[in-house]
Chain A
Amino acid sequence: MSEILKSLVVSSLLFIGASIPVHGAVVVSSKLSSESVMIGQMIRLLLNAAGIQTVDRTTLGATYVVRKALLAGEIDIYVEYTGNAGFFFNRPSDPAWKDLRKGYELGSKLDYAANRIIWLTPANASNAWALAVRKDVARANHLQTMSDFGRWVSGGGRVVLACSAEFANAGTLRSLEKTYGFTLRSDQLIVLAGGETSATIAAAAAQTNGTNTAMVYGTDGNVLAANLQILEDDLHAEPVYAPVPMVREIALKANPQIAQIVKPLMESFTRDTLLELNARVQINGESINSVAEDYLKSKGLLK
């Protein structure tokens, strides 16, 4: 019996030992969503190509887990969204988050002062809640922006919106209504309990109970598959959730080139490129790594 015990103890210790990090390598991480993983893999590929050693810790966990890991120094870099800083620093109602540039400046200032975390270049795209209408409806009524939508609805447009209870009740819908001057009657709203965007998108795609508008995330690939058109938040009613790589100062000092390597990548993203890349992963089921590599090559960022 004691022989078995001994071998069990030794093997447990070996298992723990196997997770010791490689010193000097940059630990690249991400949240669980396919977009975060994809941009994380792109960053990792670019760093490797520049001769910087990396450790792949993508799909680490939910937002609070990855954020905590960054602050604890267990990972070095990952892609967060600018608007989330409102929650990290407990000031979600600050109007700065509604503007990409102001939100970026405020967030990076706060994060550097408090945690020595440096925000690199943000992408010019927002993964915030948005409204998307069926393409046929958008074309017939010339809907491009939320201002168009407000005009259409208040002029008697036949809209039926599918959204989550959180979206309808926690102020997001009200702030859109106030900014764009429209009001939705209760019979124009279909409130879905779970609040998954997949369900709202499916409702609009299948025109369930006449639904023609859905609550979506701004860069969700499912939007393309369902033939929906995202409406631009042209008056900035909503916080901006722009992807931005965040890196620990210590890791950046050890490899200062990281900032310059990541910059052209983040600048290459628009909402449409992200939508398309996300759709390849989410809808076609292509491997995240191959989509990441393809994109870098097509943009000439990787040979």
Chain B
Amino acid sequence: MMKTWAGRHSIDRLGALLSLVGAVSLVFLPFVVFKANRIVPGDARSLSQILALAAVLALYVILALVASTALFLRSARSRLAAALIGVAAVTLTLGAAGDALTPLGNQVVRVSPGTGFWIVLICLGLMATDAITRMRPGPGIRVLFLLVFAASAAAALASGFFDHLSVMREYEVNASRFTREARQHVFLALGSVTAAVLFAVPIGILCHRVPRLRAGTLGTLNLIQTIPSIALFGILMAPLGALAAAAPFLSDIGIRGIGTAPAVLALFLYSLLPVVANTMVGLGRVSPATVDAARGMGLTSWQVLTDIELILAFPVILTGIRIVLVQNIGLATVAALIGAGGLGVFVFQGINQTAIDLVLLGALPIVALGFSCAVLLDALVEAIQRSAR
């Protein structure tokens, strides 16, 4: 009897885990944290203290329905829809709690999401990503999903509904600098990766053609990779500073001991190994028979490289580029310490002022940026592999 019941209504294991964790944290962990000002430790507030009973009940009913979908429904589309409805419900509740806890016109109190909120959000996010994986969407659809998520997040933030939450308070105070530092952050990451690709791909090709060079090159690049980032940023300041002092025209075009130049150079050095290694691996995978056939057809060595080998190796090389782009988006944070700006400025200023909200203003966009780049480049790699087949 039990067996047939379980057979007909099989419980989804991931759904069970997520529902359990979500429910426990919703009940036992604080959903919002209220701080009398920016730096004091906060007091946990439960939802029933803040919002009307009807609103709290509505949230619980919605989340219960989401949980039962996660437990019993198999359709990936319904699971995704339920997870997204859940995300909307908890974030809207958080926004409402922010409004309710902030006295009219008060600029000093801070309302932040509590651990309960974050864990429920993570559970819903895992449910959504799991559903998307089950749907096996093509690269185009995945990029579309990303765009829709980004657009709805941007619209939600622009709507003003979340303006009473602590991170948005920090944004409001730093709005003009935020745009500037975000642009600088993207420039540091993209600029260094671009420069690295221009150097690393030829190095990879050379190592592929001349096996003698491999061990030495990879050994050197490995060594660079082991230097801690803050140390490498520091090490580069001295030679670049001396260079700028010796040749003032360099300093006029921005090659100086502090600022963008040492930051881009350090990120550039960190980017070399993955791209060189992937270029070699990609070229190594091209079958010798294909290369022989191309030679037999009368293609020159250069033509074999550009028309055959590089084309076939491109997805692997692109995977290397994806690794370094995501890596550099994270590493560029440290660049703020040597005057290169970027979102790390908020992280370090926040640490300096013990204002965790300001740290988040820098850290959350960095995470979002890294995640988006990973999704975009993964989709690109897959699209190229599909078209090659």
Contact = CB atoms under 8 A, between A and B. Distances in A.
Contacts of A284: 37-38, 107-108
B137 interface: no
Interface of B is mostly: helix
B39 A282 contact: yes
A1 B339 CA distance: 35
Interface stretch (B167-175, B217-225, B325-333): B167-175
A287 interface: yes
A281 B351 CA distance: 14
Interface of A: 1, 5, 8-9, 11-12, 15-17, 19-20, 32-34, 37, 57, 59-62, 65-66, 68-69, 72, 74, 196, 198, 202, 205-206, 222, 225, 281-287
Contacts of B252: 20
A53 to B, nearest CB: 18
B237 A65 contact: yes
A222 B38 CA distance: 10
A50 to B, nearest CB: 23
B255, B336, B352: residue with the most chain A Cβ atoms closer than 10 Å: B352
A1 B307 CA distance: 11
15 contacts: A12-B194, A15-B191, A59-B349, A68-B257, A69-B257, A72-B244, A72-B256, A72-B257, A74-B258, A225-B39, A282-B39, A285-B37, A285-B357, A286-B107, A287-B174
Contacts of A202: 41
Given A20-B253, A196-B354, A283-B38, 13 more contacts: A16-B253, A19-B260, A32-B352, A37-B349, A60-B258, A61-B339, A66-B339, A68-B258, A69-B258, A282-B39, A285-B170, A285-B355, A287-B173
- Name the interface size band of chain B: 35 or more
A20 B254 CA distance: 6
B39 A222 contact: yes
Contacts of A287: 173-174
A259 B236 CA distance: 34
B259 interface: yes
Contacts of B354: 196, 198, 222, 282
Contacts of B256: 72, 74
A5 B39 contact: no
A16 B349 contact: no
A72 B198 contact: no
B254 A16 contact: yes
A115 to B, nearest CB: 13
A59 B259 contact: no
Contacts of A65: 237, 258, 337-339
A59 B195 CA distance: 27
A162 to B, nearest CB: 15
Q: Which 6 pairs across A and B sit closest by C-beta, in order of nearness?
A: A198-B354, A19-B254, A287-B173, A60-B339, A285-B38, A61-B339
Interface string B346-380: 00110011110100000000000000000000000
